[in-house]
Amino acid sequence: MIRLEQVSLRAGTFRLTDVSLEVPAGGYALVIGPTGCGKTSLLEAIAGHVPVTTGRIFLQDRDVTSVPPEARRIGFVYQAYHLFPHLSVRANISYGLKDDPAAGRRVEELATMLGIAPLLDRSPRGLSGGEQQRIALARALAPRPAVLLLDEPFAAVDPAMRRMLRRELQDIREREGVTILHVTHDVDDALRLGDLIAVLGNGRIAQAGPPEEVFRYPESAFVADFLGAGTVLKGTLTRTGEREKTTRRFPARFESGGLQLEVIAEREGGAYAVIRPEDVLVSRQPFPDYPRNRFAATVHRVERLGPVANVHLDASGQRLMAAITAATVDTLALRPGDAVSIAIKATAVHLI
Amino acid sequence: MESIASAQQTGLSLGVARSSPGFGLLGAFLGALLVLFIIGPILRLLWASDPATLAAAAGDPEIRAAIVLTVLTASVATGMAVLLGAPLGYLLARRQFPGRTLLRGVLDLPVMIPHPVAGIALLLFLGRHSPVGGALAAMGLEVVSHVPGIIAAMLFVSAPLVVSGSREAFASVDPTLERVARTLGDTPWQAFRRITLPLAGRGIVTGALLAWGRSVSEFGAIVILTYHPKVASVLIFDRFTLSGLPGAVPAATLLLLVALAVFILLRILEPPAERAR
């Protein structure tokens, strides 16, 4: 279990303010944010390398705020791995086991699990990024830490290796029962790995929660924009109908440039609308089932990403993006410049 | 303007030539001249004495005493320089503190000062009539004209080499490696002993070797501080002024052989190269 209570710190040019976060025992949390937002400083504070100015840090219900790093039972994998160059792979992995009589067996077990057993008697010099990564992981896991801190662990590996490591990290969490806090700037990692994500921006946690929820309901334009949750439109809300008694919500019109959307709103005035690409429907014919939020649009660009494709559209001067299957793109024979009909469900427009 | 333009053009053409074999050949030729200039005199000196003369010199009690004294005092001075200077090198590499740049400048001073000047400064500082020299004499430690004077002169001129060598060595060890060791359960001292010291070790040893060589070769400061007992360099100078080359050459050759032997031995014993990054 990792619990941060209003942690503030300053490390060099980085500053974190009032960071509160709780990762349950055995949980996998991702801290995601733009490069240079202080993510590494946060990990170093949890590890005890960087002192906090205010707030408390709890690990396994123990207040470790003033405990030195060596007594925190933490595994830390740095982005650049930082293997000890003067020690063999085996000595690197067993480093934290000191005089443990079972050290040999533990090293073999981890090396087998991570597929690095043939490297044990080599020097870490000259090994590939993926190999070094696994050695660093095995070294951090060897003393059975309660908490594993990962700093951009996929930054230097190719996409195939990245997919493999993602699976392995999930396995490791289950086998070792370790609580993982993983720092990344990659939205994909956040969606695929975490049971909890926290978006860090300007030294604060902008939003935290289960990944689907944060993606579905970003609480600020910064989060929506950073996560690429969809097209973020800036506009104004005008009430068009009666306020509903229980939900206090009302039908409204959202206007942004030449685009008008019928939406369900809670307030009037300036607002951001987030439209997720998968909620934008594309067709050659007008949508008879959608009396509202139907638009004529022009295909600007088709971006194929394997089985899905992002279709960039121009609707009344506003850029929108629709995510549809590659098969649909072929069926509709979409080409730049084509005129199409698009439709957006009123409930799919997320207002901030 | 024209000259600048042509200079730039020359620079440009040199840049192009860098990848051509001609540039490599030119560099090799110039470098070979310098290497010959260094090796030539050394070989000439080694060849200057026949084995019988060298054996006779090795049997000369005065020469033997001088060489033994030189090796011992240089070793003590180097040991002291490492003991006092390596921790300072660590602080200069790792810690921020006021006056750090000034301190680095001060530590470079002995390299800039002509050695007889250093000897005179040490004589004023450590002489019997100075506060420091007087206090040491009161404790029974005679410096000037005694062995400690030789060691003091050697330490003064060679310690900066140990400090800068170990400073660079410690600076080349990524502090994140220590952080990793800490999370793996090491106390700061254990992390230093298991990670930093082994990785910086070679650099510190290199600094110490340079300091030892510098101590063995010292003349200017020693001759002013402690003429007697004579270290090898003082004895060789003595013989040269008394009886010219024939008197000086055998002792010079012997000292050269001893210094070379020690250097080669230490290079062999040195731990294998470690790159800290």
Rounded to 5 degrees, φ, ψ at A4 are -105, 130
Rounded-to-5 percentages of helix, strand, coil across chain B: 80, 0, 20
Query: Which residue type occupies A111?
Result: A
Output the six-digit token pair for B184: 């793996």
Confidence band for B4, pLDDT divided at 50, 70 and 90: very low
pLDDT at position A158: 79
Question: How confident is the model at residue A108, as a pLDDT?
Answer: 95
Q: Mean of the pLDDT values across residues B153-174?
A: 95
CA-based nearest residue to B169, from B87, B269, B268: B87
CB contact under 8 A, A74 and B183: yes
Interface test with A, best of B172, B184, B270 (most A CBs within 10 A): B184
Average pLDDT score over residue span B175-200? 95
List pLDDT tens digits, range A232-259: 888 899 998 888 888 888 889 998 888 8
CA distance A164 to B84: 51
- pLDDT, residue B1, reads 38
Check: CB of residue B153 under 8 Å from CB of residue B122: yes
Which chain A residues are closer than 8 Å to B187 by Cβ? 68, 70
Instruction: Classify residue B195 by its DSSP letter.
Output: I
User: A125 to chain B: which residues are within 8 Å by CB?
Assistant: 275
Determine the Cα–Cα distance for residues A37 and A33; give it in Å rounded to an integer.
6
Q: What is the pLDDT of residue B275?
A: 43
B179: chain A residues, CB-CB within 8 Å: 44, 47, 49, 69, 76
> How much is the average pLDDT of B143-152?
94
Q: Are A180 and A150 in contact (CB under 8 A)?
A: yes
Q: Do B198 and A76 touch (CB under 8 A)?
A: no
Span A176-226, pLDDT tens digits = 899 999 998 887 787 778 889 999 988 889 999 988 788 777 888 888 878
Q: What is the pLDDT of residues A65-101, one digit of tens each?
A: 999 999 999 999 998 899 999 999 999 999 999 888 9
CB contacts of A48 in chain B (<8 Å) are 182-183
pLDDT tops 90 at residue A154: no
User: Within an 8 Å CB–CB cutoff, is residue A106 touching chain B?
Assistant: no
Instruction: Please tell me which residue of chain A has the smallest CA distance to B195.
Output: A84
The rounded distance, in Å, linking the Cα atoms of B149 and B144 is 5
Q: What is the pLDDT of residue B19?
A: 59
B21 prior amide bond cis, ω within 30:
no
Count the Cβ atoms, other than its own, within 10 Å of residue A95: 23
The whole-number pLDDT of residue B8 equals 42
Is residue B236 very low, low, confident or very high in pLDDT (cuts 50, 70, 90)?
very high
Residue A291 has a pLDDT of: 67
| pLDDT on residue A59 | 94
Measured at the alpha carbon of residue A205, what is the angle toward residues A202 and A207, in degrees to the nearest 5? Answer: 120
Q: CA-to-CA distance for A298 and A316, rounded, in angstroms? A: 9
Is the model's pLDDT at B237 over the cut of 90?
yes
Task: Summarize the confidence of residues B10-38 as an average pLDDT.
Answer: 76
Judge contact between B216 and B71, C-beta under 8 A.
yes
pLDDT of residue B10 exceeding 70, the answer is no
Segment A8-17 shows an average pLDDT of 86
**pLDDT average, residue stretch A163-176:** 88
Comparing A331 with B186, the larger pLDDT belongs to B186
Q: What average pLDDT is seen over chain B?
A: 88
Interface contact A96-B277, CB threshold 8 A? no
Question: Smallest Cβ distance to A76: which of B174, B180, B194?
Answer: B180
Q: In what order do the strands lie in the sheet with A339-344?
A: A280-283, A339-344, A294-305, A308-315, A318-325
Helix B197-217 / helix B232-269 crossing angle, nearest 10 deg: 160
Task: Report pLDDT for A290.
Answer: 67
Give phi and psi for B226, each to the nearest 5.
-140, 95
CB A47 within 8 A of CB A76: yes
- Please write down the long-range contacts of B184-189, taking CB distance under 8 Å and 24 or more positions apart: B184/A70, B184/A95, B184/A96, B184/A139, B184/A140, B184/A143, B185/A70, B185/A96, B185/A98, B185/A143, B186/A70, B187/A68, B187/A70
